Amino acid sequence: TEFNLADAVRLWVDDFKPLAASYEVTIVQKADGDLTVKADYYKVERICYNLISNSLKYNRKGGTVTVEAVRRGGSVEITVADTGVGIPKDVVSRVFDKFYRVRGGGSGTGVGLAVVKAFAELHGGRVSVKSVEGEGSEFKVELPQKVENAILSTPDTLSKHPEGREPDMQK
C-alpha cells in the first residue's frame, strides 16, 4: 500500500497522547511534508507502536519521547528517541532477541522489539539502537521508500482501527 508516512506518524503519535499523559511524558512528532512510501501500512504501524510504547514504558516522569520520520536517499528513517532509563552497554546488542528483557520485572513479554526487527527486515530494512544507561535510548528503523514485494497485509488480514479510521491508501 502507498501512504504518506509523515501523515501516518502524526496519527500514530496522536494515538499515544493519552497514554503519554498518564505516564507524565511529553510526546512530540517531527514529520512533515510529503513522505510517500510503498510499504505494508499495518506492519509499519506495528513497528512504530512497539517502539513508542517502549519509549513511554521505559521513560521517567517528566521525560520526553520524540518520533521523527525523514527521507534519506531512497529510504525513510523512523527514529523514536526517549529520555528514559536507557540500556546497559553489555546487553544492548540483545534487545532485539525474542523474549529478551533487560529487567525481568514489570509488564511485557520481550517480543515487541523482535517484531520490530522482523517487520523491518520483511521490508528489506534494518534496525539499530543507541542508548546510554540512565539517559535514554534512540531506536532507528530504516525502510526502503518503495517495497515492491513486501508481504502486504490487508485490512481483512489484520484488525482495523477500532474507530474505523483508515488511511487513504491504494492496494
State the residues that interact with ligand ATP by CB under 6 A: 50, 54-55, 58, 82, 84-87, 95, 100-103, 108-114, 137
- Give the shortest CB-118-to-ligand ATP separation in angstroms: 11
- 148 Cβ contact list (under 8 Å, min separation 6): 38
- Give the shortest CB-129-to-ligand ATP separation in angstroms: 8
DSSP state of 93: G
29 binds, among Mg ion, ligand ATP, none (CB under 5 to 8 A by kind): none
Cell of 89: 552497554
The residue range among 32-40, 63-71, 99-107, 112-120 that interacts with Mg ion, by the rule CB under 5 A, is 112-120
Q: What whole-number distance in Å separates Cα of residue 14 and Cα of residue 128?
A: 24
Q: Please count the other Cβ atoms lying within 10 Å of the Cβ belonging to residue 37.
A: 24
Distance, C-alpha 162 to centroid of its chain: 20
63 binds, among Mg ion, ligand ATP, none (CB under 5 to 8 A by kind): none
| Three-class DSSP category at 118 | helix
- Give the shortest CB-113-to-ligand ATP separation in angstroms: 3
55, 126 Cβ separation under 8 angstroms: no
- Give the shortest CB-17-to-ligand ATP separation in angstroms: 18
Q: Which of 63, 84, 86, 112 binds Mg ion (CB under 5 A)?
A: 112
